[in-house]
């Protein structure tokens, strides 16, 4: 029995990960294909990478998307941290249930609904108070912040729930004010969670097509919008090249994060041993 | 315990923050703003709650009220794409008689009914297959050695970090008539005619299962990983076979994970737009696609709003249910 079960688990994992990774690998392999017909192999070539970097439309859209993603992620982390802090540390307060449902609903809300409703809000606001004048980077950023802050809230809230709050209590007992306790104790401890929240918000924003399409104005086409209008007409090899570059960047990021995390884990373990040694 | 153990590292981290704080503290404005805010009865606590609260109220809740309003407004006058709201300032009584027009239109036209039912069907079947593939994977990862576990988990999350749009796009190259699968099958001689897979419902199922699989695996994993394995040992000691032990213990205990994962897949899949547009055929009816077409192609904002409201009504029960599960989960705390 002890032999049979691991075999089952192994095959499940092999099959499952093949399903997850073969499509991504196929994108990369075909990005080096000479043929324009993407899936018909005609020899190795890096032609499409050259073409990609000549495509001003894609480069411009990529730059715009990166800008929006960075601003969005920063805003989402601030809002999400506040919401997560309120939900995890403030106990019962008036409106807690509403706040908690407003931060979890965007996680599953179909994007077409979020996109449409935000656009109608922006149009109504423009008519009533004259802001935001027209639609573009500002409206896309606001829309993205609204639904990515939900992810940050969940991450921060669950980090705070598992965090040992005796340090916070000790600081409070010693007379530190709540704001000081937050900046000196809580924030450094949850910093890794905030970083992963920032990265998640960044990635989601960079990837969003539907909501951005609704709230974008003329001249503010983000990268997913440009990609979508291209792939709607069929496969195109320079999109494969773009995909490969994005996969490479993500892989590099993950490796760096992995190294940093294991290094941090080692320091933590060393600190722990030192603490134990000191106590003895 | 962990807090104490972490303290030397966090101390080092916090000295930097401390420095910044000290600099900030010497700024006079910080002091008088604080005093003034306190005079107004605004404490830090209220601000922490109020800022995200007001933000979400304005950008998440109020928009739905506007959608509802526009869904009840007249269609023809709304045809100019950028000024659809002009007429709802008008006479309320007149408006009210025309109000349900958009919803009646949805009810009368078979297209919308079919799209709604088909979306529910597609999302339901996709959720089932996600569970069928995701459960064994989550189980295998949760029962792997602790060293491998993190790497395996990382591998599940990794595709999620790469562009969703491009991962869906990858399937076009795999499923089309001269794509990867057909080329392979033709080459091995299993078939002599390419199988039509792209632009069929099959392609939509593959796309949804593929894209949403991590959302199924993660909550299942965090549930299965927490499970008390001594229960299984006890069952085995009492003569229970592995299959029976799974059915009697593991499966019932993992029900919260199954439900959370299923909601995370089902709800967004019902309103999915990108996957049916890129992988499905032109006649594939999904409600997200219908809403998009009404809005962007027909420029009929009131009908698009009515579709959104109807979709929300369909989804309100699963969404509220998901929130309950989510609130319980984050309270106990294992989520990425």
B47 inside domain = no
A137 touches A87 (CB < 8 A): no
Which of A274-278, B162-166, B181-185, B208-212 is predicted least confidently? A274-278
Best mean pLDDT range from B2-11, B109-118, B210-219:
B210-219
Are B194 and B320 within one domain? yes
Instruction: Choose between A71 and B69: higher pLDDT.
Output: A71
Q: To the nearest whole angstrom, how far is the Cα of A34 from the nearest Cα of chain B?
A: 15
Are B218 and B88 within one domain? no
Are B281 and B229 within one domain? yes
Say if residue B320's pLDDT is above 80: yes
Q: What number is the average pLDDT over the span A20-40?
A: 83
Instruction: Choose between B92 and B159: higher pLDDT.
Output: B159
- Where is the domain boundary, B108, B125, B141? B108
Are B194 and B251 within one domain? yes
B329 inside domain = yes
Of the candidates B173, B330, B191, the one whose C-alpha atom is nearest the C-alpha of residue B260 is B330
Residues 42-61 of A with CB under 8 A from B: none
Which pLDDT band, with edges at 50, 70 and 90, does A101 fall under? confident
Which pLDDT band, with edges at 50, 70 and 90, does B88 fall under? very low
Of the candidates A203, A102, A217, the one whose C-alpha atom is nearest the C-alpha of residue A144 is A203
Say if residue A67's pLDDT is above 50: yes
Say if residue B332's pLDDT is above 70: no
B58 inside domain = yes
B9 inside domain = yes
Which pLDDT band, with edges at 50, 70 and 90, does B37 fall under? low
ipTM above 0.90, yes or no: no
Q: What number is the average pLDDT over the span B243-263?
A: 88
The share of chain B scoring above pLDDT 70, in percent, equals 77
Q: What number is the average pLDDT over the span B54-68?
A: 89
Of the candidates A187, A237, A85, A86, the one whose C-alpha atom is nearest the C-alpha of residue B18 is A187
Are B132 and B218 within one domain? yes
Is the C-alpha dihedral spanning A58, A62, A65, A71 positive or negative? negative
Are B163 and B303 within one domain? yes
Per the structure, the count of domains in chain B is 3
pLDDT given at position A143: 95
Are B142 and B5 within one domain? no
Query: How far is the C-alpha of A162 from the C-alpha of B331, rounded, in Å?
Result: 9
Query: How far is the C-alpha of B261 from the C-alpha of A40, rounded, in Å?
Result: 38
Query: How far is the C-alpha of A98 from the C-alpha of A76, rounded, in Å?
Result: 19
B194 touches B188 (CB < 8 A): no
Instruction: Choose between B33 and B210: higher pLDDT.
Output: B210
pLDDT given at position A2: 46
Are B86 and B116 within one domain? no
Instruction: Choose between A278 and B81: higher pLDDT.
Output: A278
Of the candidates A11, A41, A16, the one whose C-alpha atom is nearest the C-alpha of residue A26 is A41
Residue of A69, A110, A217 to mutate for B, most B C-beta atoms under 10 A: A110
> In this complex, which of B14, B52, B162 lies closest to A246 when CB atoms are compared?
B162
| CB-count burial class (<10 Å; 0-12, 13-18, 19+) for B5 | middle
Are B210 and B77 within one domain? no
> In this complex, which of B56, B179, B336 lies closest to A102 when CB atoms are compared?
B56
pLDDT in tens, B157-174: 888 888 889 999 999 988
Of the candidates A51, A68, A43, the one whose C-alpha atom is nearest the C-alpha of residue A242 is A51
> In this complex, which of A90, A93, A118 lies closest to B63 when CB atoms are compared?
A118
User: What residue numbers bound the domain in which B276 lies?
Assistant: 110-336
Of the candidates B238, B243, B230, the one whose C-alpha atom is nearest the C-alpha of residue A5 is B243
pLDDT given at position B2: 40
Are B249 and B333 within one domain? yes
Query: How far is the C-alpha of A213 from the C-alpha of A208, rounded, in Å?
Result: 9
Cβ-based contacts of B85 with chain A (< 8 Å)? 120, 123-124, 127
pLDDT given at position B20: 59
Query: How far is the C-alpha of B272 from the C-alpha of B126, rounded, in Å?
Result: 12
What architecture does CATH give domain A23-279?
A: Orthogonal Bundle (1.10)
Are B186 and B321 within one domain? yes
Q: To the nearest whole angstrom, how far is the Cα of B38 from the nearest Cα of chain A?
A: 14
Residue of A132, A188, A237, A263 to mutate for B, most B C-beta atoms under 10 A: A188
Are B57 and B196 within one domain? no
Cβ-based contacts of B180 with chain A (< 8 Å)? 26, 39
Which pLDDT band, with edges at 50, 70 and 90, does B178 fall under? confident
Cβ-based contacts of B277 with chain A (< 8 Å)? 232
pLDDT given at position B135: 95
- For chain B, give the mean pLDDT: 79
Residue A265's CB: how many other CB atoms inside 10 A?
A: 10
> In this complex, which of A16, A164, A207 lies closest to B2 when CB atoms are compared?
A164
Q: To the nearest whole angstrom, how far is the Cα of A175 from the nearest Cα of chain B?
A: 16
B32 inside domain = yes
pLDDT in tens, A171-198: 888 888 888 888 888 888 888 889 889 9
pLDDT in tens, A197-237: 998 899 899 989 999 999 998 878 999 999 999 888 877 88
Cβ-based contacts of B55 with chain A (< 8 Å)? 79, 145-146, 149
């Amino acid at each position: 029995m002890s032999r049979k079960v691991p075999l089952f688990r192994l095959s499940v994992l092999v099959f499952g990960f093949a399903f997850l990774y073969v499509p991504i690998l196929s994108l990369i392999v075909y990005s080096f294909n000479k043929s324009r017909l993407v899936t018909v192999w005609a020899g190795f070539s890096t032609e499409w990478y050259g073409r990609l970097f000549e495509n001003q439309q894609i480069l411009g859209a990529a730059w715009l998307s990166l800008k929006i993603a960075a601003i969005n992620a920063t805003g989402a982390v601030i809002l999400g941290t506040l919401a997560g802090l309120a939900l995890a540390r403030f106990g019962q307060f008036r409106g807690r249930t509403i706040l908690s449902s407003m931060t979890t609903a965007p996680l599953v809300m179909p994007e077409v609904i979020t996109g449409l409703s935000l656009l109608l809000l922006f149009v109504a606001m423009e008519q009533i108070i004259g802001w935001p004048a027209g639609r573009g980077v500002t409206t896309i950023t606001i829309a993205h912040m609204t639904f990515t802050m939900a992810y940050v809230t969940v991450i921060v809230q669950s980090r705070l729930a598992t965090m040992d709050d005796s340090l916070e209590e000790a600081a409070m007992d010693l007379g530190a004010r709540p704001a000081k306790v937050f900046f000196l104790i809580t924030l450094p401890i949850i910093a890794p969670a905030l970083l992963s929240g920032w990265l998640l918000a960044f990635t989601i924003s960079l990837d969003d097509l539907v909501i951005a399409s609704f709230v974008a104005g003329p001249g503010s086409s983000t990268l997913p919008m440009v990609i979508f209008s291209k792939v709607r007409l069929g496969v195109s090899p320079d999109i494969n090249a773009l995909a490969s570059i994005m996969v490479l960047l993500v892989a590099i990021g993950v490796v760096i994060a992995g190294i940093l995390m294991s290094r941090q884990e080692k320091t933590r373990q060393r600190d722990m041993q030192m603490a134990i040694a000191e106590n003895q | 315990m962990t807090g104490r153990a972490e303290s030397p590292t966090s101390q080092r981290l916090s000295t930097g923050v401390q420095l910044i704080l000290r600099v900030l503290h010497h700024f006079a404005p910080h002091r008088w703003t604080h005093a003034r805010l306190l005079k107004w009865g605004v404490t830090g606590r209220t601000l922490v709650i109020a800022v995200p609260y007001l933000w979400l109220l304005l950008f998440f809740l109020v928009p739905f009220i506007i959608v509802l309003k526009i869904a009840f407004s007249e269609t023809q006058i709304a045809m100019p794409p950028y000024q659809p709201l002009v007429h709802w300032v008008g006479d309320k009584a007149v408006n009210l008689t025309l109000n349900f027009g958009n919803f009646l239109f949805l009810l009368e036209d078979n297209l919308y009914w079919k799209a709604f039912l088909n979306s529910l069907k597609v999302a339901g079947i996709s959720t089932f297959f996600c569970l069928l593939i995701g459960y064994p994977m989550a189980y295998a990862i949760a029962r792997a050695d602790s060293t491998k576990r993190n790497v395996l988990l990382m591998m599940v999350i990794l595709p999620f970090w790469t562009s969703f749009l491009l991962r869906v796009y990858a399937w076009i190259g795999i499923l089309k008539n001269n794509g990867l699968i057909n080329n392979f099958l033709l080459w091995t001689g299993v078939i002599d005619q390419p199988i039509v897979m792209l632009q069929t419902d099959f392609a939509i199922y593959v796309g949804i299962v593929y894209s949403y699989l991590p959302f199924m695996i993660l909550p299942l994993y965090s549930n299965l990983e927490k499970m008390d394995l001594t229960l299984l040992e006890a069952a085995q000691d009492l003569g229970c076979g592995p299959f029976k032990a799974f059915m009697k213990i593991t499966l019932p205990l993992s029900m919260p994970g199954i439900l959370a994962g299923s909601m995370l897949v089902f709800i967004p899949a019902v309103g999915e737009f990108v996957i049916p547009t890129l992988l499905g055929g032109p006649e594939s009816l999904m409600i997200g696609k219908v809403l998009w077409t009404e809005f962007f192609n027909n420029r009929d904002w009131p009908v698009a709003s009515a579709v959104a409201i109807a979709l929300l009504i369909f989804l309100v029960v699963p969404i509220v249910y998901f929130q309950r599960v989510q609130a319980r989960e984050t309270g106990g705390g294992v989520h990425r």
